[in-house]
C-alpha cells in the first residue's frame, strides 16, 4: 500500500470512527430521540399479546375513517413492558399511545410527566359503563395516597386523568372443566365456599391424577388476590375485609377474623394440582387447557388465553369464588373495574390523532368487535344480552358482575398502606398453602408483621 | 507538540522494524501524536461512557430514591444501605432471607464443583482410549448451559418429570417429589445448587486437566519410587501443586454464587415462596419487579454491597492461598 492510500485509509477510518461515536452518543443522550408520531401515523405499545390482532383490526377501520395509521407493538411480559417504558422515558422515545394498568401504571407514568392529562379532552366517556366511566382519573383517595412517603404516584394532582378504559373485568373467576364436573356428579356451580370445597373433593376423588386446581403461584399474588380475598370479603363484609389489612390487632390477620379466613382458605390445600406452586400464570392456564388440572383460578381475561391454547370454550364452566356459608355477604358478586386503559404520551407528536384513536376504540361497534376478537370485556354498554355478542362464557361472566357493598371490587386497593408490596405479603401466605410450612397462627403472625411494617413506614 | 516515547516500544513489546533501538530517543511530530490520540480515542471514549460514567452513575443511584421514570430523584444519602441492612421492616427481611440462601449457595456450589471436577480430571487424565470423546462429553454441559437448558431441567424436575418417573420405575418412589423437585421448599434450593454445579464442573475439569498436564512426571515418579500409592500421590503431590487452580475455580464459583441470578430467575423466580431467593435475584426484583415503586436506588445499593462482598471474598481467598503457597 502506498503512502497516499495509507493516509487516505487512516483518514477514512478516523472519520468513520468519529461518526459512529457521534451517532452512538446521540442515541444514548437523554435529550436524543424525541417525540414519536406524525399527523398520519401513530405508534401504540401494549403488554397484552392477545390484544394486538384485535387492535390492528380496529386500526384498519380507524385509517379508513381518518387516514391515520396505527402501528401496534406488544411488549411482554409486564416486567419487560415496564423496563421498556423506563428506557423510553429516559431517551424520549415514548410511543404515542400506551395500554396501561388502570389506576396503577397510568398514575405512575402520569406522575413522572410521561402522559398527557386527558381531563376535559374525552367528551365521549358517557359511552362507558357508569361504574368505570371515571376510571383513570385521580380521585381524592388516590391523591391522598400519592402524598404518603414512598408512594409510587407522588406528583399526581387531583382530577387529572391519565387514561380511559379499554377493557374491564375482574379477578376471582373459577374455570372448571365441564365434562369432568358432570362425570363427578356436579351439575350446578357451587353457591358457597363449603360447596366449592365439596366440588373440589368430588372431582379429585373421581380423577386423582388430574382433578386438582391450578393457579400460577410463581406470581404469589394469584392465590391471595384471586382466590382468598374474594372469599374473605364474602366472609367478613367490606369493613371486616379492610380490617385484615389494618394495623389494628383486633381486626388484622392475627385476630379471630383473620384466623377464620386463613382456616377457610387452608381447606383448598389438598386439592392443588401437584407442582402448581412452581407454575407461572400462563403455565397454570395451559395446564388447565391441556387437562392436567380440572380447575383454574383467574379472571375475565383468562378466557382469551385458554382459547389461544386450544381449550374448547364449550367445555368450560365459570363461576365467581363463593362466600362461606353464614358469611357477611352471602350473595357475593364481583364488581367489574377497568383492567386496562389507554393513555396518550406527553411527548406525542400527534396528540390530536392519538385522542381520536381513543375515541374510535370507545365507539360501541368498534369496542364490541374488539371484545369479540380479543375475547375480553369492553367498557361500553352492550345491552341486555352481552352473551349474544361475546359468546356464552364471556356473557355469563358479564352477567355475574355486581355492584355495591355486596360486590367484591379487586380494583379497590385504597385499604392498603401506601408502600404495600402485594408479592411480599402473598409469599408469606404461601407458607400456609400450598407449601404447608406454616400453620394458621404462624401465617397470621407473619402477615401481620409484614403489613405492620408497611404501616410503620408510612 | 512532541512526546518522549523512548520506552514505549519496549513496554508494549512492539519490536518491529521501525521500533527505536534501546536507549535511543525518537521524538514524534505533533501530527503523529495527534493521530495516535485519535486512534486510541474511540476506546477511551467508549470506556469513559460505558465504564466510568455508568459506574459513577450507578454509585450515585444508590444514594437516591427513584423509580426510573421521574425527571428528578430524591437524595437519601446512605439510607438505602441502612434500609437494606436493618432499618426498614419492609426491605431488610427479604434481604436477610436472600442472604442466607446465598450463603448456602456460596458454600455448597464451589465445594461440590471442586469435589467433583478434581477426581473427574484425574480420571480423564489417566484415560487412554476415547480421550477426545470423553472430554467432549464432559464439556457438553458448559456449551449448552443457558435458558434452553434451564427450561429443559424444569421439565425433568416437574412432578411427572423424568427424575420422578425414573425413581418410581426403580421402586424408589418414596424418594420422588410429588410437588416436583422445584416445588418442594426443602429440595428446591439444593436442586438448583446441583444444576449450578453441573454447569460449572466442565470448566473446572478443564482447568484441572490443564494443570495436570503441566506437572512434571518426574515428581510423580519420584513419589511412586518412594512408595506412595495412588491416593498418596494425588493428595500429597498433585493436589498441592494444583492449589492455584483450585483457588481460581473457587473464586469463579464464589463470584457466580454471589452475583449470578439467571438460573434462579428462570427456573423458580425465587420460589416456591422465597425459598430460592438469592441476593442477585433480590437486586433484580428491586430494580424491575416492584411495579414502579421508587426502589431503583435500593437495587443499586444492594448491587454495590454485593460488589464489596465479592471483593472481600476474592481478597480473603487470595490471601489464604498465598499463605499456603
pLDDT interval class at A444 (50, 70, 90):
very high
pLDDT at residue A385 in the model: 75
Instruction: With a cut of 70, say whether residue A406 has pLDDT above it.
Output: yes
Distance between CA atoms of B2 and A348, rounded to whole angstroms? Answer: 53
Residue A43, beta-bridge partner list: A71
pLDDT at residue B324 in the model: 63
Could you tell me which residues come within 8 angstroms of residue A1 by beta carbon, excluding any fewer than 6 positions away?
A9
- Looking up cell 416445588 gives B183
In A, minimum Cα distance to B46 occurs at A21
Q: Count Cβ atoms below 10 Å from residue A39 Cβ, excluding itself.
A: 11
Taking the Cβ of residue A388 and every Cβ of chain B, the question of whether any pair is shorter than 8 Å is answered with no
pLDDT interval class at A57 (50, 70, 90):
very high
Would strands A69-74 and A41-46 be described as parallel, antiparallel, or unpaired? parallel
Could you tell me which residues come within 8 angstroms of residue B222 by beta carbon, excluding any fewer than 6 positions away?
none
Helix (H) or strand (E) holding A171: strand A171-177
pLDDT at residue A298 in the model: 94
pLDDT at residue A10 in the model: 52
pLDDT interval class at B2 (50, 70, 90):
very low
User: What integer best gives the mean pLDDT of chain B?
Assistant: 86
Q: Alpha carbon of B182 to those of A214, A250, A274, B175, B267: distances in Å?
A: 16, 38, 11, 14, 8
Q: Which of B38, B272, B290 sits opposite A277 (nearest CB)?
A: B272
CB contact under 8 A, A278 and B274: no
Distance between CA atoms of B28 and B11, rounded to whole angstroms? Answer: 17
In B, minimum Cα distance to A146 occurs at B293
Instruction: With a cut of 60, say whether residue A372 has pLDDT above it.
Output: yes
In A, minimum Cα distance to B270 occurs at A218
Distance between CA atoms of A114 and A298, rounded to whole angstroms? Answer: 31
Report ipTM (2 d.p.): 0.78
pLDDT at residue B305 in the model: 95
Q: Which of A24-38, A273-287, B257-271 has the highest mean pLDDT?
A: A273-287
Instruction: With a cut of 90, say whether residue A294 has pLDDT above it.
Output: yes
Distance between CA atoms of A119 and A309, rounded to whole angstroms? Answer: 39
Distance between CA atoms of B304 and B78, rounded to whole angstroms? Answer: 12
Could you tell me which residues come within 8 angstroms of residue B123 by beta carbon, excluding any fewer than 6 positions away?
none
Residues A321-353 have pLDDT tens digits of 999 999 999 989 999 999 999 999 999 999 999
Phi, psi of A44 (to 5 degrees): -140, 135
pLDDT at residue B5 in the model: 39
C-alpha cell, B37: 490520540
pLDDT at residue B142 in the model: 74
* Mean of pLDDT values over A177-197: 95
In A, minimum Cα distance to B154 occurs at A278
Instruction: With a cut of 70, say whether residue B64 has pLDDT above it.
Output: yes
A262-276, A400-414, B32-46, B191-205: which range is least confident on average? A400-414
Distance between CA atoms of A130 and A148, rounded to whole angstroms? Answer: 29
Residues of B with CB under 8 A from a CB of A: 35, 38-39, 41-42, 45-46, 49, 65, 67-71, 88-90, 93-94, 154, 158-160, 178-180, 182-183, 185, 268-269, 271-275, 288-294
User: Which SS3 state, helix, strand or coil, does residue B71 take?
Assistant: coil
> What percent of chain B has a predicted confidence (pLDDT) above 70?
91
Instruction: With a cut of 70, say whether residue A266 has pLDDT above it.
Output: yes
pLDDT at residue A13 in the model: 47
CB contact under 8 A, B42 and A21: yes
Taking the Cβ of residue A283 and every Cβ of chain B, the question of whether any pair is shorter than 8 Å is answered with no
- Name every chain A residue with its beta carbon within 8 A of the beta carbon of B39: 14
Helix (H) or strand (E) holding A303: helix A302-308
User: Which SS3 state, helix, strand or coil, does residue A211 take?
Assistant: coil
C-alpha cell, B289: 419487579
A82-96, A217-231, A354-368: which range is least confident on average? A82-96
Taking the Cβ of residue A85 and every Cβ of chain B, the question of whether any pair is shorter than 8 Å is answered with yes
pLDDT at residue B23 in the model: 52
Q: Count Cβ atoms below 10 Å from residue B227 Cβ, excluding itself.
A: 7
Alpha carbon B263 to its chain centroid, in Å, reads: 12
Alpha carbon A380 to its chain centroid, in Å, reads: 18
Report which of A166, A186, A163 is spatially closest to residue A176, judged by C-alpha positions: A186
Could you tell me which residues come within 8 angstroms of residue B146 by beta carbon, excluding any fewer than 6 positions away?
none
- Name every chain A residue with its beta carbon within 8 A of the beta carbon of B274: 427
In A, minimum Cα distance to B49 occurs at A25
Q: Which of B46, B88, B179 sits opposite A277 (nearest CB)?
A: B179
In B, minimum Cα distance to A430 occurs at B273
pLDDT interval class at B325 (50, 70, 90):
low
CB contact under 8 A, A10 and B289: no
Q: Which of A83, A90, A218 sits opposite B288 (nearest CB)?
A: A83
| Long-range pairs of A184-193 with CB within 8 A, sequence gap ≥ 24 | A184/A211, A189/A317, A189/A319, A190/A319, A190/A322, A191/A322, A192/A322, A192/A323, A192/A324, A192/A325, A193/A231, A193/A234, A193/A235, A193/A264, A193/A267, A193/A321, A193/A322, A193/A323, A193/A324, A193/A325, A193/A327
Could you tell me which residues come within 8 angstroms of residue A60 by beta carbon, excluding any fewer than 6 positions away?
none
Helix (H) or strand (E) holding A129: none
Higher pLDDT, A284 or B5: A284
* Mean of pLDDT values over A29-43: 60
Q: Count Cβ atoms below 10 Å from residue A207 Cβ, excluding itself.
A: 17
Q: Which of B42, B272, B274 sits opposite A17 (nearest CB)?
A: B42
pLDDT interval class at A16 (50, 70, 90):
very low
Q: How far is B16 from chain A (nearest CA, A)?
A: 18
CB contact under 8 A, B35 and A275: no
Taking the Cβ of residue A104 and every Cβ of chain B, the question of whether any pair is shorter than 8 Å is answered with yes
DSSP state of A322: P
CB contact under 8 A, B288 and A82: yes
Q: How far is B174 from chain A (nearest CA, A)?
A: 16
- Name every chain A residue with its beta carbon within 8 A of the beta carbon of B97: none
Residues B141-179 have pLDDT tens digits of 777 767 888 889 999 999 999 999 999 999 998 999 999
- Name every chain A residue with its beta carbon within 8 A of the beta carbon of B65: 150
Residue B185 · residue A276 · CB < 8 Å: no
A99-108, A234-243, A391-400: which range is least confident on average? A391-400
pLDDT at residue B12 in the model: 40
* Mean of pLDDT values over A3-27: 46
Taking the Cβ of residue A25 and every Cβ of chain B, the question of whether any pair is shorter than 8 Å is answered with yes
- Name every chain A residue with its beta carbon within 8 A of the beta carbon of B41: 17
Residues A80-96 have pLDDT tens digits of 898 899 889 888 899 99
Taking the Cβ of residue A21 and every Cβ of chain B, the question of whether any pair is shorter than 8 Å is answered with yes
How big is the A-B interface in CB pairs under 8 Å? 121
pLDDT at residue B22 in the model: 52
> What percent of chain A has a predicted confidence (pLDDT) above 70?
91
pLDDT at residue A304 in the model: 85
Q: Which of A90, A275, A431 sits opposite B179 (nearest CB)?
A: A275
Report which of B129, B272, B246 is spatially closest to residue B189, judged by C-alpha positions: B272
Q: How many helices (H) and strands (E) does chain A have?
A: 18, 11
Q: How far is A29 from chain B (nearest CA, A)?
A: 11
A201-215, A393-407, B74-88: which range is least confident on average? A393-407
Q: Which of A114, A274, A421 sits opposite B290 (nearest CB)?
A: A421
Instruction: With a cut of 50, say whether residue A231 has pLDDT above it.
Output: yes
A289-293, B12-16, B91-95, B239-243: which range is least confident on average? B12-16
Taking the Cβ of residue A457 and every Cβ of chain B, the question of whether any pair is shorter than 8 Å is answered with yes
Higher pLDDT, A191 or A383: A191
Instruction: With a cut of 70, say whether residue A30 has pLDDT above it.
Output: no
pLDDT at residue A289 in the model: 96
| Long-range pairs of B107-110 with CB within 8 A, sequence gap ≥ 24 | B108/B190, B108/B193, B108/B197, B109/B193, B109/B196, B109/B197, B109/B200, B109/B253, B109/B256, B109/B257, B110/B249, B110/B250, B110/B253, B110/B254, B110/B257
Q: How far is B158 from chain A (nearest CA, A)?
A: 7
User: What integer best gives the mean pLDDT of chain A?
Assistant: 88
> What percent of chain A has a predicted confidence (pLDDT) above 90?
66
pLDDT interval class at B8 (50, 70, 90):
very low
Residues B119-144 have pLDDT tens digits of 999 998 887 777 777 777 777 777 77
Report which of A196, A203, A111, A195 is spatially closest to residue A158, judged by C-alpha positions: A111
First and final CA of chain B: distance in angstroms?
50
Report which of A202, A184, A263 is spatially closest to residue A228, judged by C-alpha positions: A263
- Peptide bond between residue B169 and the one before it cis (omega within 30 degrees of 0): no
CB contact under 8 A, B90 and A14: no
Residues B106-120 have pLDDT tens digits of 999 999 999 999 999
Burial B149-161 (b: 16+ CB within 10 A, else e): bbeebbebbbbeb
Amino acid at each position: 500500500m502506498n503512502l497516499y492510500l495509507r493516509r487516505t485509509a487512516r483518514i477514512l477510518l478516523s472519520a468513520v470512527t468519529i461518526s459512529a461515536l457521534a451517532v452512538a452518543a446521540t442515541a444514548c443522550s437523554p435529550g436524543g430521540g424525541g417525540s414519536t408520531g406524525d399527523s398520519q401515523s401513530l405508534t401504540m405499545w401494549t403488554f397484552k399479546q392477545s390484544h394486538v390482532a384485535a387492535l390492528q383490526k380496529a386500526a384498519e377501520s380507524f385509517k379508513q375513517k381518518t387516514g391515520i395509521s396505527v402501528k401496534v407493538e406488544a411488549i411482554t411480559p409486564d416486567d419487560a413492558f415496564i423496563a421498556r417504558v423506563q428506557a423510553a422515558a429516559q431517551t424520549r422515545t415514548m410511543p404515542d399511545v400506551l395500554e396501561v394498568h388502570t389506576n396503577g401504571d397510568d398514575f405512575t407514568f402520569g406522575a413522572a410527566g410521561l402522559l398527557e392529562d386527558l381531563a376535559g379532552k374525552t367528551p365521549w366517556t358517557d359511552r362507558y359503563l357508569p361504574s368505570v366511566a371515571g376510571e383513570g382519573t385521580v380521585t381524592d383517595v388516590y391523591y391522598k395516597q400519592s402524598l404518603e412517603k414512598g408512594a409510587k404516584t407522588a406528583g399526581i394532582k387531583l382530577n387529572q386523568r391519565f387514561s380511559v378504559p379499554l377493557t374491564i373485568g375482574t379477578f376471582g373467576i373459577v374455570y372448571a372443566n365441564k365434562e369432568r364436573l358432570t362425570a363427578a356428579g356436579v351439575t350446578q356451580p357451587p353457591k358457597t365456599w363449603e360447596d366449592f370445597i365439596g366440588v373440589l373433593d368430588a372431582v379429585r376423588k373421581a380423577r386423582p391424577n388430574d382433578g386438582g386446581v391450578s393457579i400460577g403461584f410463581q406470581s404469589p399474588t394469584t392465590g391471595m388476590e384471586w382466590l382468598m380475598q374474594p372469599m374473605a370479603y364474602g366472609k367478613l363484609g367490606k369493613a371486616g375485609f379492610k380490617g385484615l389489612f389494618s394495623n389494628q390487632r383486633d381486626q388484622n390477620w392475627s385476630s379471630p377474623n383473620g384466623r377464620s379466613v386463613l382456616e377457610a382458605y387452608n381447606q383448598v390445600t389438598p386439592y392443588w394440582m401437584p407442582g402448581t406452586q412452581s407454575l407461572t400464570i400462563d403455565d397454570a392456564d395451559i395446564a388447565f387447557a391441556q387437562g392436567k388440572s380440572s380447575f383454574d383460578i383467574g379472571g375475565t381475561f383468562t378466557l382469551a388465553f385458554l382459547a389461544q391454547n386450544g381449550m374448547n370454550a364449550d367445555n368450560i364452566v365459570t363461576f365467581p369464588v363463593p362466600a362461606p356459608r353464614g358469611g357477611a355477604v352471602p350473595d357475593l358478586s364481583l364488581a367489574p373495574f377497568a383492567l386496562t386503559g389507554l393513555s396518550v404520551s406527553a411527548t406525542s407528536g400527534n396528540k390530536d390523532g392519538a385522542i381520536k384513536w381513543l375515541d374510535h376504540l370507545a365507539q360501541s361497534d368498534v369496542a364490541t368487535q374488539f371484545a369479540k376478537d380479543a375475547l375480553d370485556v369492553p367498557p361500553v354498554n352492550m345491552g341486555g344480552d352481552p352473551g349474544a355478542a361475546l359468546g356464552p362464557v364471556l356473557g355469563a361472566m358479564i352477567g355475574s358482575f355486581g355492584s355495591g357493598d355486596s360486590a367484591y371490587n379487586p380494583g379497590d386497593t385504597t385499604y392498603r398502606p401506601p408502600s404495600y408490596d402485594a408479592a411480599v405479603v402473598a409469599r408469606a401466605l404461601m407458607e400456609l398453602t400450598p407449601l404447608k410450612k406454616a400453620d394458621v397462627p404462624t401465617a397470621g403472625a407473619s402477615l401481620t408483621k409484614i403489613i405492620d411494617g408497611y404501616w410503620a413506614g408510612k | 507538540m512532541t512526546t518522549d516515547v523512548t520506552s514505549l516500544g519496549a513496554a508494549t513489546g512492539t519490536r518491529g522494524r521501525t521500533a527505536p533501538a534501546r536507549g535511543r530517543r525518537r521524538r514524534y511530530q505533533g501530527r503523529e501524536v495527534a493521530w495516535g490520540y485519535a486512534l486510541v480515542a474511540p476506546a477511551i471514549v467508549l470506556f469513559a461512557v460505558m465504564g466510568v460514567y455508568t459506574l459513577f452513575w450507578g454509585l450515585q443511584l444508590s444514594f437516591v430514591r427513584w423509580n426510573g421514570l421521574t425527571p428528578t430523584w430524591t437524595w437519601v444519602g446512605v439510607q438505602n444501605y441502612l434500609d437494606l441492612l436493618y432499618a426498614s421492616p419492609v426491605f431488610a427481611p427479604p434481604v436477610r432471607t436472600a442472604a442466607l440462601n446465598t450463603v448456602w449457595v456460596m458454600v455448597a456450589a464451589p465445594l461440590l464443583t471442586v469435589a467433583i471436577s478434581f477426581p473427574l480430571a484425574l480420571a480423564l487424565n489417566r484415560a487412554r482410549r476415547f480421550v477426545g470423546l470423553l472430554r467432549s462429553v464432559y464439556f457438553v454441559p458448559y456449551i449448552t448451559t443457558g435458558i434452553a437448558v434451564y427450561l429443559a431441567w424444569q421439565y425433568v424436575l416437574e412432578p411427572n418429570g423424568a427424575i420422578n418417573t425414573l425413581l418410581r420405575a426403580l421402586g424408589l418412589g418414596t424418594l420422588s417429589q410429588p410437588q416436583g423437585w422445584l416445588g418442594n421448599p426443602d429440595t428446591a434450593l439444593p436442586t438448583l445448587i446441583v444444576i449450578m454445579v453441573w454447569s460449572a464442573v466442565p470448566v473446572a475439569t478443564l482447568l484441572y486437566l490443564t494443570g495436570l498436564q503441566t506437572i512434571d512426571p518426574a515428581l510423580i515418579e519420584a513419589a511412586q519410587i518412594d512408595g506412595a500409592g495412588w491416593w498418596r500421590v494425588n493428595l500429597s503431590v498433585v493436589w498441592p501443586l494444583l492449589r492455584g487452580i483450585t483457588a481460581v475455580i473457587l473464586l469463579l464459583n464464589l463470584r457466580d454464587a454471589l452475583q449470578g441470578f439467571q438460573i434462579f430467575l428462570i427456573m423458580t423466580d425465587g420460589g416456591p415462596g422465597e425459598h430460592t431467593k438469592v441476593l442477585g435475584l433480590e437486586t433484580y426484583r428491586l430494580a424491575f419487579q416492584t411495579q414502579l415503586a421508587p426502589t431503583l436506588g435500593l437495587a443499586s445499593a444492594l448491587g454495590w454491597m454485593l460488589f464489596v462482598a465479592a471483593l472481600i471474598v476474592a481478597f480473603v481467598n487470595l490471601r489464604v492461598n498465598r499463605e499456603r503457597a
